[in-house]
Amino acid sequence: MNSLEKIDKNNIPQHIAIIMDGNGRWAKKQGQERLYGHSIGVEAVRESINACLSMGVKYLTLYTFSTENWNRPKDEVDGIMNLLVQTISNELELLNSHQTGLIVIGDEEGLPDSCRDELNEAKEYLSKNNKLYLVLALNYSARWEIKNAIKNISEQVKDGKINSKEITDELISNELCTKNIPDPELIIRTSGEHRISNFLLWQLAYSELYFTEVLWPDFKEEDLYLAVTNFQSRERRFGQTSEQII
Ligand code: IPE
Ligand code: IPE
Ligand code: MG
């Protein structure tokens, strides 16, 4: 029995989010530039998409570029943006043949024009697809997202459109970039780092966290099946006792 067959098809997370980390360290180990690690990381993205399609996962969110990543050397930032444009263009037909839609979360206004244009074209081209949604977190940070939500909600209160008593969890969720996307049941971080790095802070309230030592460019379909198998072994209690759930 291979690892896909071991997975319980009745308990597949609808939404998996991945902090793709370790490209730089992977490249260094090969005696290569950091950008080489990012380019090989694209292969791990393909592997993850294939695994999600095989399992029937509906949303795959990939932390691709954080608002803090602008602080990296200019060459690396430029290289990542170019790679993004190239990759989206190269993968478009494959994504379409897999009936995969594209969603972007993050501050798209702050991206280079070439990148924003490519993303908009791709979103439009893939807009009828609904088997899997690939959600790219780009120029994203959770504090930026929450700050915007607070600004929007306070404007609505100021304009008398809502009363502050009407501010519910649901209302806040609807002001986030992930509006209409279920919270991720499973968050994975590669490369052995045990932190969240400003990712989906509101949405991860009850996510299961899974950390693996595997560096992102080495991440294979099999690694995603392992993560889901581990997820399925957990008891999600949401504040209740074990006895209450069984
Ligand atoms: C993740 O790999 C990719 C991005 C953050 C864009 P890193 O580039 O962070 O790789 P390490 O952590 O330096 O090894
Ligand atoms: C988080 O990785 C951001 C992305 C994966 C895009 P980083 O490598 O930037 O995170 P830190 O700096 O190690 O926390
Ligand atoms: Mg890193």
- Per residue in 100-137, pLDDT (tens digit) is 999 999 999 999 999 999 999 999 999 999 999 999 99
Q: Is 79 in the pocket of ligand 1 (CB under 6 A)?
A: no
Name all residues whose Cβ lies below 6 A of ligand 2. 19-21, 63-66, 69, 193, 195, 197
Q: Is 184 in the pocket of ligand 1 (CB under 6 A)?
A: no
**Residues linked to residue 133 through DSSP beta bridges, in sequence order:** 59, 101
Report how far ligand 2's centroid is from the alpha carbon of 159 (Å): 38
In a domain, 246, yes or no: no
Q: Whose CA is nearest to atom 9 of ligand 2?
A: 69
Q: Which domain holds residue 84?
A: 11-142+183-233
Report how far ligand 2's centroid is from the alpha carbon of 162 (Å): 37
Report how far ligand 2's centroid is from the alpha carbon of 115 (Å): 20
In a domain, 98, yes or no: yes
CATH number at residue 55: 3.40.1180.10
Report how far ligand 2's centroid is from the alpha carbon of 195 (Å): 9
Number of the ligand 1 atom closest to the C-alpha atom of 193 = 12
Quick one: what percent of the chain has pLDDT higher than 90? 98
Alpha-carbon gap, residue 121 to 116, rounded angstroms: 9
pLDDT digits (tens, 9 = 90+) for 142-194: 999 999 999 999 999 999 999 999 999 999 999 999 999 999 999 999 999 99
Closest CA relative to residue 175, chosen from 200, 149, 141, 146: 149
Query: How far is residue 216 from each of residues 99, 162, 192, measured CA to CA in Å?
Result: 25, 44, 10
Closest CA relative to residue 23, chosen from 112, 83, 95: 83
pLDDT band at 246 (very low <50, low <70, confident <90, very high): confident
In a domain, 223, yes or no: yes
pLDDT digits (tens, 9 = 90+) for 49-102: 999 999 999 999 999 999 999 999 999 999 999 999 999 999 999 999 999 999
Distance of CA 198 to the CA centre of its chain: 12
Q: Is 80 in the pocket of ligand 1 (CB under 6 A)?
A: yes
In a domain, 109, yes or no: yes
Residue to probe by mutation, ligand 1, list 20, 23, 189, most atoms within 8 Å of CB: 23
In a domain, 4, yes or no: no
- Tell me: pLDDT of 1 over 80: no
In a domain, 55, yes or no: yes
When divided into structural domains, the chain yields a total of 1
Query: How far is residue 35 from each of residues 32, 39, 42, 77, 224, measured CA to CA in Å?
Result: 8, 6, 11, 9, 24
Q: Is 21 in the pocket of ligand 1 (CB under 6 A)?
A: yes
- Kindly state the average pLDDT of the residues 11-32: 98
Contact 30, 36 (CB under 8 A): yes
pLDDT for the residue numbered 2: 79
In a domain, 239, yes or no: no
CA neighbours closer than 13 Å in the CB half-sphere of residue 29: 11
Query: Helical H runs in the chain?
Result: 23-29, 34-55, 74-97, 113-125, 142-158, 169-173, 221-232, 242-245
Alpha-carbon gap, residue 13 to 209, rounded angstroms: 13
Q: Is 185 in the pocket of ligand 1 (CB under 6 A)?
A: no
Alpha-carbon gap, residue 100 to 117, rounded angstroms: 19
pLDDT for the residue numbered 213: 98
List residues with catalytic annotation: 21, 69
Ramachandran angles phi, psi of 134, nearest 5°: -90, 120
